[in-house]
Structure 1
């Protein structure tokens, strides 16, 4: 009995493990003042950068950005810095993924249907990906220096879990809107409501990888 009493006293006195801190909320997209369908917000990226960031590890396995039906899939891809992205081709035609983005420029070269090639991204930043064959193909890679990121669900809701204590920067990124920023402390405050107004073009004006206009034919002859 005495042993049980001592054990009970120790358990009562021991502090309870603090639950993992979270930030949750909902994203709403608008265009020309009108709300868009909730599922369109699922492509957005939500990430949290602590004020005192820790080390970030590259992903153990490569991420994938597939070329499929003359589109990059997924269209918006968040990765951790130092990670590798593979560019498999599921189309029976040639593609050529490339980017002129600062610090993360690359050129995969022409590649046909199959596994494709891979590219490692060593610098944090935004990488806009084009196809040198098809002007309308645009992809977006966010190379993040934080492991705390997620996509919203089909209702536009998001939840970041396992966040470190303390303040940081909460960011919501979508290619057609100005990035949304807010200082946040995980575990404090209620759900965050984010409104993004889409004012940018889905296919921005751009040149090919040689800095010249694309050919007259929309498929570049392939």
Structure 2
């Protein structure tokens, strides 16, 4: 069975830089519109593991309604929590795999921590769009098969101050779009 794509879709090539003009790896870029929101569906099989007393991956992007499993692959127990407005939850001291995943149903950033290991931090970014991606080591990202139209392009990075919203700019997507440069103020690596 093939993937059905809109009759008119384009490719968006992006270069994300920090406030000093350096390429920004691991930036999350997403496109918002009413049509994108309608196309967003919960993702399947999402995990944020605890490995070597760190969350892996450090940043996870999901759509509303996505359930995330938090397997503990360490030999010590963890107490994973978030008190963020986007999602408040606690998985009290556990080893192995919790019985139930955590469902993220509200758009925003959930900061994760471990009540036992204070150095452990991660983020779950909940976006209302299926059009998102992560920049590579050179700060580049290509979003393919994006329906032509007008979007709000938003960019987020873990180095932004806590609680800072994702930067935004208007963005049109068409068949022959030029590369887009995004400079993320407030971020640095």
Task: Verify same fold: TM over 0.5.
Answer: yes
Corresponding position: 1:29 with 2:12: no
Corresponding position: 1:123 with 2:123: no
Partner of 2:71: helix, strand, or coil? strand
Corresponding position: 1:48 with 2:15: no
Q: CA RMSD in A?
A: 2.3
Corresponding position: 1:58 with 2:9: no
Aligned with 1:80 (options 35, 40, 63): 63
Cα offset, 1:138, TM superposition = 0.9
**How many equivalent pairs are there?**
177
Q: Looking at CA atoms only, which structure, 1 or 2, has the larger radius of gyration?
A: 1
- Which is worse superposed, 20-29 or 139-148? 20-29
The Cα offsets for residues 74-97 of structure 1, whole Å up to 9 and x where unpaired, read as 111100110111111121111111
Partner of 2:38: helix, strand, or coil? coil
| TM-score normalised according to structure 2 size | 0.83
CA distance in 2, matches of 1:196, 1:182: 11
Instruction: Could you tell me which runs of 5 or more consecutive residues in structure 1 were left unpaired when the two chains were aligned.
Output: 1-16, 203-222
The correspondence of residues 179-218 of structure 1 with structure 2, limited to 5 A, is 179-187=166-174, 189-198=177-186
Cα offset, 1:121, TM superposition = 1.1
CA distance in 2, matches of 1:119, 1:73: 16
| TM-score normalised according to structure 1 size | 0.71
Give the aligned partner of residue 3 of structure 2.
none
Cα offset, 1:164, TM superposition = 2.0
User: Which is bigger in relative contact order (C-alpha 8 A, separation at least 6)?
Assistant: 2
Aligned with 2:155 (options 150, 155, 172): 172
Cα offset, 1:106, TM superposition = 0.7
Corresponding position: 1:148 with 2:135: no
CA distance in 2, matches of 1:34, 1:154: 14
Give the aligned partner of residue 136 of structure 1.
119
The 8 Å contact of residues 44 and 76 in structure 1, kept in 2 or not, is answered as no
CA distance in 2, matches of 1:75, 1:103: 17
Aligned with 2:52 (options 69, 74, 80): 69
The 8 Å contact of residues 26 and 137 in structure 2, kept in 1 or not, is answered as no
